[in-house]
Structure 1
Amino acid sequence: MAVVELPDLSSPSGLKELDEFLSSRTYVSGDEPSKDDAVVLSALGDSCINELGNVTRWQSNIVALLQKHFPGSSCGVKFPGSPAVQTRELTVDAPPAPETPPATEEKAEEDDDDLDLFGEETEEEKKAVAEREAQKASAKKKESGKSSVLLDVKPWDDETDMVKLEEAVRSVSMPGLLWGASKLQPVGYGIKKLQIMMTIVDDLVSVDNLIEEYLTEEPRNEYIQSCDIVAFNKI
C-alpha cells in the first residue's frame, strides 16, 4: 500500500482538505482502523473541527477505539515538508485504572473501628450495618450495564448515496449512545448495506426505539429502508 499523503493540518485549508478526504472513507487507510488513524489524530492536536462533519465523525470513531489495538495494516502517513511517518511500531496504551481514593479506604477503616467485634450488636450498630449493605446494593444497581450492538442498515436501492446514509445514521445523538466502526457489505445487484457498531448504556437507550423512532423515520428514511440487529452482546 502506498503512503497516504495529507495536507498541513495546522491551516484551515488543510483541515478542509482532510474533511473532503474523509468524505468517502471511514478510516485514513484501508477498510479497518489502523495506527495511521492514530498519527493523524495526534497531528490534529487542538484544531477546531466543529464545522467539519467528516473529520468530526472520524475523530469520534477513532477516539472510541484508542484503547484497543487497531486490526488494520498501516501504510504510513506523510505531511508536507516531513518524511512519511511509519506507524507499524506505534502502540496505544490503555490508561491505567483509577485507584481507589484514600479517603474511601480511611472511611471504611473508621466504620470498622466503630463495631464492637466481641460484644452483642446494639440496635444502632445493626442499623449502621444495614445502611452500609443498602448503600453497596444501591451502588451496584446504579452501575448501568452496557451492550455492544451490531446493526445492518439497508438502503432503498443501488442509487442510494451510502455516504449520506452513514451520515444520517451517525447524526442520531442521545445520552448513552456511542457509534463505532462501520463498513459496507455487498448485498447483491449492486446494492450494499452498512454494518455499524454501537455501544449503548442499557438503562438509557432502547435499540428498538432507536430504530423505530429515529433511524427509519423522517428525514433519515430518505436513505434508510430498514435496520436489523445482527448481534447484541452485554459488555
Structure 2
Amino acid sequence: MAAVFTDLHTESGLKCLEKALSGKTYISGDVISKDDVKVFGAVPTKPGSEFQNVSCWYESISAVLASRFPGKAVGVKFGSPAAAPAPAEPAKEAADDDDDDLDLFGDETEEDKKVAAEREAAKASTKKKESGKSSVLLDIKPWDDETDMKKLEEAVRSIEMPGLHWGASKLVPVGYGIKKLQIMMTIVDDLVSVDTLIEERLTVEPINEFVQSCDIAAFNKI
C-alpha cells in the first residue's frame, strides 16, 4: 500500500495521503505498520494545518520512532525532488522490511497509548460536532379519558433546559375515548439525553399527575 503514495514533497502527493488517512489513525487502520514508516520517510517535514489528518499521523509516527530511538532525529528533509538527501538514520532503518531490530509490533508503550488516546479523543470531538442535533417524536399517554389534555401539553412544554426546543403537536386517538399527545422536539445531542428527560422530568411529579407513560416514537439525526 505504501507504494501508492508518491511525490509526498508536493501538495498533490500530500492531498492523496490526507484522503487515505481520513477516519484512520494509521495507513492500515488503528495499528501502526511498516507501510506507515515507509511513507513517513518520504514526507519531508510535518505538514501544515491544511493537512490535518497527515499532520496528526506524522506526529504519531514521530512519537513512536522517538520512543524506539531516544535522542535521535526522526524527520526527513527534502531539497529539490532530483537531489533529495538520504533519510535520517532511524527512518531509514525503520523502512527496511528485513530489519529485525525495530519492534513496531511488540507491546504498546505508554507513549503509544497516549498518542492513540489523544487521536481518538480528537476524532470523538469531531464526531460530536458533526452529530449536531436530533429530531425526536414522543408519544405521551394520559391516565384515562378524563385527563385534561390541554393541561397535559402545557405541563410538557413547561419543561425547559439548554438544548431542548419543543415543536408541533397533535392528539391521536388510541381507543376507549383516550387520546395520546404526539409532540416533536429538537435536541442538541451532547446537551440533552432523551431517556433522562423521560425518566426524570416527564414521568415524575408534578407532571405525572397527567402523564401515565412516555415513549420515543421516532428519533432522527438532523
- Pick the TM interval, shorter chain: 0.3 to 0.5
Largest Rg, 1 or 2 = 2
With structure 1 as the length reference, what TM-score do the two structures score? Answer: 0.44
